Amino acid sequence: MSTATKRHLGRCPIAFGTDVFGDRWTLLVLRDMLLHDKRTYGEFLDSDEAIATNILAARLRHLEAEGIVEKNRDPKNRRSFIYTLTEKGLALAPIIFEIIRWSGQYIPLNKARKNLLARIETDPDALLAEIQMRARKAK
Amino acid sequence: MSTATKRHLGRCPIAFGTDVFGDRWTLLVLRDMLLHDKRTYGEFLDSDEAIATNILAARLRHLEAEGIVEKNRDPKNRRSFIYTLTEKGLALAPIIFEIIRWSGQYIPLNKARKNLLARIETDPDALLAEIQMRARKAK
């Protein structure tokens, strides 16, 4: 049982959620894993928001401790690691979808993001299934 | 146009969302407004998580600047203020609902929270309408 799970038994589900992923950088790493299929430390560093290496390392450790992310040696390069979402991590996708739906009402989106929003609006289950399949194949 | 809106024009909707509300304490204040009908500084201070006064003041100012929360003098007591959610703030409810759905899979919930989760699972639109009506009445 993860630290946050123990601390929140029988308590507020929002407080539990915010302890597990309620932080700007954690949400951006989850976005990169869920929507951009990123899996390596180098890929996470390479985003528009320019996360700092020490913050990234801390957030990945936290996500691993909470059972959201799994860290394994890359079979193609035994000196590096790949990070994949667990089932618990994949189950966060609907939260990310709702954030996109909300934001889409208040900022203009480029074409790729408009297409993503359209998929979320019309068939979120199909999109979720696709994300899950991709993540399971990566393990 | 709010600061975050300007900064994120045409950019990532998740990064925009995390700038507006992606912080543990902000999410807890939004929870208190959406689900527990809290409206005053004193009510926000009085939660299990024991938010510090300086953090609460900063988060409320931020939410006001982002157009999520409106601050008005309490008509019943002109020396104090009441905080209410704008339409933009009320539109965050589905994100909070998804967090509860996710957490409900990983921590046991008490009876009141189980009932809330059941409402989210069976008829989120009715629950949202109820929250909106209550917030509009408070203004």
Residues of B in contact with A27 (CB under 8 A): 14, 17-18, 22
- Which of A33, A107, A116, A125 is the best mutation test for B, with the most CBs of B within 10 A? A107
Q: Report pLDDT digits (tens) over B11-60.
A: 899 999 999 998 999 999 999 999 999 999 999 999 888 999 999 999 99
Distance, CA of A135 to CA of A86 (rounded, Å)? 8
CB contact under 8 A, A22 and B27: yes
Mean pLDDT of the region A45-65: 95
Class of domain A3-138: mainly alpha
Sketch the domain layout of chain A as residue ranges: 3-138
ipTM summary value: 0.92
CB contact under 8 A, A98 and B100: no
Q: Are A46 and A4 in contact (CB under 8 A)?
A: no
Q: What is the pLDDT of residue A99?
A: 97
DSSP summary character for residue B23: B
Mean pLDDT of the region B114-124: 96
Is residue A112 very low, low, confident or very high in pLDDT (cuts 50, 70, 90)? very high
Question: What's the predicted TM-score (pTM) here?
Answer: 0.93
Examine the pLDDT at B10 and tell me if it is beyond 70. Answer: no
Nearest CB to B49 within list A15, A17, A107: A15
Is residue B135 very low, low, confident or very high in pLDDT (cuts 50, 70, 90)? confident
Distance, CA of B15 to CA of A10 (rounded, Å)? 31
CATH number of B12-138: 1.10.10.10
